[in-house]
Amino acid sequence: MGSRVEILNDGGYRSDGRRQFELRDIAIDLSRHGQADGSAMYTQGLTEVLVTVFGPREAKLRSQTIHNRANINVEVNIAAFSTGERRKRSRGDKRILELGAAIKSTFEPVIQTHLYPRSQIDIFVQVLQQDGGLLSAAINATTLALITAGIPLFDYVCAVSSGVHSTHAMLDLTTLEENDVPHLTVAVMPRTGKITLVTLETRLHSDRFEEVFRIACEAGKVLHEEMRNAIKARTSALARAMGEGHPAGAPSNREGDEDFEMGDD
């Protein structure tokens, strides 16, 4: 095999004890962060991302104003302690710029930007810990943060990484696996089945692509259920707090959540 680590053993288990198609544990925290209009902490395995959303608000620079829709601004910050490598990544770092560009292009067709002409929506992505699947975790966290900010989306965006080891397709790769295995990230809109992003990080034989792509799309539906449940739980908690007459710092996003959910059967 030539691999330094055993990616998949003879019993069909991976180095972290998961099966081929098993996702890592997911934790979602939608409590409000600071002055943000919406936020989400999303953890998948050891990868942890915090996304905060501000807006829609007036664009700071006239050059960033688009007369018939909102401008989406994405900034990514990778905490120095988030990874084993000790080098600090600057804002102009190629990987950070690529992450930001991928998130922006994923959400431009999904956010209903036409409702907010001449305004700006700021998405701040803070990478707290990373162990594979960074882009997919950032996309899932962004979906949740936008919904909690009450910003209308055409659909959820649910992303996951998948790869192929020898002839075996695998889901939700760790850094160890990503370093060793050809892999891609797929972001799917579950209601329509539309794909808003496919990034291929490495060369992958076309014969293998179809299966890896298909299992990622299937996993997107599983993630959608997790994400929906988190939004529903938050909406119920807000509704209870409002019913009890709490100010609770609860933003008036409740309508946004419910509208979004109603179309989502």
pLDDT digits (tens, 9 = 90+) for 204-238: 888 889 999 999 999 999 999 999 999 999 999 98
Three-state DSSP at 132 gives coil
145 Cβ contact partners less than 8 Å away, ≥ 6 residues apart: 36, 38, 39, 40, 51, 52, 53, 123
CATH of domain 26-262: 3.30.230.70
The CA distance from 39 to 52, in Å, is 4
Contact 7, 165 (CB under 8 A): yes
pLDDT at 21 over 60: yes
Range 189-197 average pLDDT: 92
pLDDT at 82 over 80: no
Of 108, 74, 76, nearest in space to 189 by CA: 108
Contact 193, 229 (CB under 8 A): no
The CA distance from 72 to 110, in Å, is 11
Contact 160, 219 (CB under 8 A): yes
Q: Report the side by side order of strands in the sheet with 168-171.
A: 168-171, 158-165, 183-189, 194-200
Range 180-204 average pLDDT: 90
**pLDDT band at residue 201, thresholds of 50, 70 and 90?**
confident
218 Cβ contact partners less than 8 Å away, ≥ 6 residues apart: none
The CA distance from 105 to 139, in Å, is 11
The CA distance from 138 to 159, in Å, is 9
**Which helix (H) or strand (E) covers residue 232, if one does?**
helix 206-243
> Quick one: pLDDT at residue 87?
52
The CA distance from 228 to 7, in Å, is 32
State the DSSP code for 250: -
pLDDT at 79 over 60: yes
217 Cβ contact partners less than 8 Å away, ≥ 6 residues apart: 186, 188, 193, 195
Q: Where are the domains of the chain?
A: 26-262
Helix H segments across 71-133?
94-107
Number of alpha carbons in the 13 Å side-chain half-sphere of residue 5: 14
The CA distance from 113 to 193, in Å, is 21
pLDDT at 90 over 80: no
CA torsion through residues 116, 190, 207, 163, sign: positive
